Amino acid sequence: MGFLFDLIDNPPVDAEACWLWPGRPRPDGYGVTSDPILGSTGYAHRIVYRWLVGPIPHEMQLDHLCRVKLCVNPAHLEVVTGAENIRRAAGRFGHVRQLPSGNWQALYSRDGTKHKAPGTFADLADAEAWLQAADRRDQEAIARALSDLATDGG
């Protein structure tokens, strides 16, 4: 609870950076904490958003624009419908999550199969950079395959 009150009283200096929830993440990668007003437990990003921005409309969700599930920076969160959140997630190459060890793991999907980076990363930025490079390699391979089909008359 201390982190929540520290965040409210003294927001991080770098408003553009991810504000990582310091607690142990759930298996799905999201932070969880208690809401001192509601007296219930919930997702840390939703609780911080309510405290710093205001209420989240009923049946709406918060989309992590930064793709980091432990991020609680309200500037990285957008209120969207559930359908929009699912639509956006379907177009994503992958995501990064923090493991209980503190290391970061990059995960991605290709042809409906889930994959992991060959190793983990000590820094969030390194994991995100690996994921972006893997996405770029995938896009280049698809472009080459389409070009080969076109030149082969296929």
Domain finish residue from 73, 91, 109: 91
7 and 76 within one domain: yes
Domain finish residue from 69, 91, 113: 91
pLDDT in tens, 46-77: 999 998 899 999 999 999 988 788 889 999 99
What are the C-alpha distances in Å from 144 to residues 84, 102, 135, 136? 31, 37, 14, 12
Structural domain boundaries enclosing 153: 93-154
What whole-number distance in Å separates Cα of residue 20 and Cα of residue 73? 8
Residues 76 and 67: beta-carbon distance below 8 Å: no
Question: Residue 63 belongs to a domain with what CATH number?
Answer: 3.90.75
Residues 69 and 77: beta-carbon distance below 8 Å: no
152 and 102 within one domain: yes
pLDDT in tens, 87-115: 777 667 787 888 888 888 888 877 667 78
State the chain's mean pLDDT as an integer: 82
